[in-house]
Structure 1
């Protein structure tokens, strides 16, 4: 390889990393057991959850990416990992995992091989840890491709993981990352030669994953819209919206970007929002003129603390001193109305709806513009209305009476799997419509035995049909 060809050298480096991962995975599988796979997953979990390391990773993430805040990243690293470990604790991922005499089928768990994981700068510690735990739990090796700004945090995480591996002799090559400055060429080569690709982050990477020729699990864009109807507990709704919107400075794809409020309770809700730190701006041009610069989100406002955001938006002195997020009254939806899209900041678009049916129509229009398939929410005491949303909105999740950021990716008080990657189904251009979890990192071999024949008579299948419409 010519030393003057940095692109070629980078591609060769990725090929070498994957080759080492493949060799290591072969040994891991050959000597595998459920105990070994579980211990490997526990090692990674403790690598990020041990308090001093968690704190260092959170500080490093904020320092190098400029996104989010340290206390919330510490919380995220801890709770997302703890929840995942709860989810996988009893999962059988080695050997015979089912044996059904009735069907004659015995199912044996098999690893996929080498997982290639592309992870975003918004969660440079928690997301790779989540992917690595799932991969090892199922007997795989994994190579992580972090965003350029996420390289230091991901590198530190892998150092902690390898230190845990050393405690029981696990090979470092099971968990690797693309070192140095990550390039499109390096990432592309990983996409092409891994056995499975998992992509969280930019939609450009998602599209490249799906066209790489490698089986891919990729997730769609978030642009969460939440309805507050006239039956809602307004104080609780306002508190949950505030907690969710401000968590880690709105870096999550599950952070509320818009709320749609039924007219009957609009004034009462905005008053409750004011009490929980939401400052309402009625002239949306004040925000669009400062949150976007030359057609792009203002880097001084993205994922910043409230005081920095207020300064960047030119609102200092115009909003209360205790303001935690900015709520903006607006009406337009679509490409010409950027407030209707994802904002990656403590800015919340607020739409007024005439009634619940109008709120559903507005929410549907927002989702069809951006964020289709991800998730929507509703604050209501009417048990029929979540079902209406589930039938009428192109979404994979309807979050009811919860702080959306905490609920969508799994919580200890709901049944969703803990994850930092949410599949969006065909609506979002994805192959999955559930939270990425351990079952996506495993495959199986089926032993098929002969059983007594179960062939029905033709009349058994078509009798009712013939009676209704004739032969």
Structure 2
């Protein structure tokens, strides 16, 4: 006879699956309605969502930290503001409805077609900002969305989704456009990913979750792990480089997947790099303390220990049973290799850094390659240098799709301190098992129809066909102009 807890668990799973199916139907029906809206109406709805998210950025950040016990409220507030205003600034003039491009000379007209229902998988590390961002880009592209939040972030995720839905409806969107599971189970998430009405999945989470999304049978965009090396080359401004690395690694206590995981530098400047690290709040561990840190940060079978994710250096040191000075910003471990024998060479979603000292930039280049192969292919790499030849050499040869130059990696990769598309879903390309190497925008959530007119001068007149069968360029141009006028009404 089963226990009461087993019965409750079974009931919970059944309830969550039922809710998943209900929300999918609601989202499917709502999407059919928003698909008929023009660009002006869509943009008005998106603007309302942006303002609601921005206005509540602080409150949502505090909710997220209180519920998940991960990260820093001030930094999560910045993420929420980034996910709304910064993203909107980039996408506000983006055409995602009706005719989005026309090329009279080629006789081609491009027409946006929404994908349908988006399933958004939400991580515990960045719950509210990820919901704001995914809801905004989904609606901008005239899709509906159903969120599956992390079990440790249900309350704050529900509130973020509620704000987005409420703002959208107030601006003229159909009800049921933005939905979120209130009962989260693995089975319910699986139901969403495999659902017949799912058009595309936006998966943010651990490697297992991303792999499950790609194995669902539905199209998916996934975020792979980031084991980001930061190379400090001899020509770099060392003080500035360390300041930026620490500002990135301490941002929300290292929860951004693009945060630096190891510093790689040349022997000729190693002493200056180490001195600057210590001066700016880095504390080096070795011997028994290093072993204790390895044991608490990385699990025996690999992967970061959830207990240290997004925690402060003081909390991590306490868990490891080691003592660190007051004011420590990052804990640093000097490492000699990469792999299972060097646990801290893996991705660490907390303010812990590895340090490698190499003979010259060529050997540093190889070390960076090793680190990327050990869990970061396709994601990001940082280089601090004034030598453009070496910067370009790294860019050409490194197996990543974001090479960030003289900028904090966490903020640079997402487009906060660089000119890349502002996004919280960062594709890792085929190297990282992803369908795209881009920072994901609304354009990744539309299909494009192409109206293609016959070009007689390309092929000549077909045998036996009357001349009226062919169109001149002038006729094609007039036809396209008429389509544009019709599409703008």
Q: TM-score higher than 0.5 here?
A: yes
1:373 aligned residue (370, 378, 387): 378
Question: Mind listing any 5+ residue stretches in structure 2 that lack a counterpart?
Answer: 1-7, 461-489
Runs of 4+ in 1 over 6 A off after TM superposition: none
**TM-score for the superposition, normalised by structure 1:** 0.91
Offset, 1:455: 5.3
Report if aligned partners of 1:259, 1:348 keep a CA contact under 8 Å in 2. Answer: yes
Report if aligned partners of 1:102, 1:451 keep a CA contact under 8 Å in 2. Answer: no
Q: Distance in 2 between matches of 1:65 and 1:368?
A: 31
Offset, 1:429: 0.6
Q: Cα 1:8–1:123, aligned 2, differ >3 Å: closer, same or farther? A: same
Within-5 A mapping of 1:89-168: 89-168=92-171
Q: Cα 1:101–1:123, aligned 2, differ >3 Å: closer, same or farther? A: same
Q: Distance in 2 between matches of 1:292 and 1:14?
A: 34
Q: Cα 1:212–1:381, aligned 2, differ >3 Å: closer, same or farther? A: same
Aligned partner of 2:486 in structure 1 is none
Question: Mind listing any 5+ residue stretches in structure 1 that lack a counterpart?
Answer: 457-471
User: What is the CA deviation profile of residues 48-68 of structure 1, one whole-angstrom value per residue up to 9, with x for unaligned ones?
Assistant: 210xx2222111111111110
Partner SS, residue 272 of structure 1: helix
Partner SS, residue 328 of structure 2: coil
Aligned partner of 2:293 in structure 1 is 287
Partner SS, residue 331 of structure 2: strand
> Is 1:22 the equivalent of 2:48?
no
2:260 aligned residue (248, 256, 260): 256
Deviates more, 1:167-176 or 1:323-332: 167-176
Offset, 1:314: 2.9
Offset, 1:375: 0.6
Aligned partner of 2:453 in structure 1 is 449
Report if aligned partners of 1:424, 1:432 keep a CA contact under 8 Å in 2. Answer: yes
Q: Distance in 2 between matches of 1:40 and 1:205?
A: 31
1:277 aligned residue (275, 281, 288): 281
User: What is the CA deviation profile of residues 194-244 of structure 1, one whole-angstrom value per residue up to 9, with x for unaligned ones?
Assistant: 111111111112111112111111121111111111111001001101101
**TM-score for the superposition, normalised by structure 2:** 0.88
Q: Cα 1:5–1:245, aligned 2, differ >3 Å: closer, same or farther? A: closer
Deviates more, 1:298-307 or 1:333-342: 298-307
Q: Distance in 2 between matches of 1:442 and 1:291?
A: 40
Aligned partner of 1:347 in structure 2 is 352
Aligned partner of 2:487 in structure 1 is none
Report if aligned partners of 2:131, 2:161 keep a CA contact under 8 Å in 1. Answer: no
1:321 aligned residue (300, 312, 326): 326
User: What is the CA deviation profile of residues 128-177 of structure 1, one whole-angstrom value per residue up to 9, with x for unaligned ones?
Assistant: 11111001001111111111112111111122223323433433300001
Partner SS, residue 127 of structure 2: coil
Provide the aligned length of Structure 1 versus Structure 2. Answer: 448
Aligned partner of 2:17 in structure 1 is 11
User: What is the CA deviation profile of residues 397-435 of structure 1, one whole-angstrom value per residue up to 9, with x for unaligned ones?
Assistant: 111111111100102x42101111111111111110111
Deviates more, 1:159-168 or 1:426-435: 159-168
Q: Distance in 2 between matches of 1:174 and 1:48?
A: 16
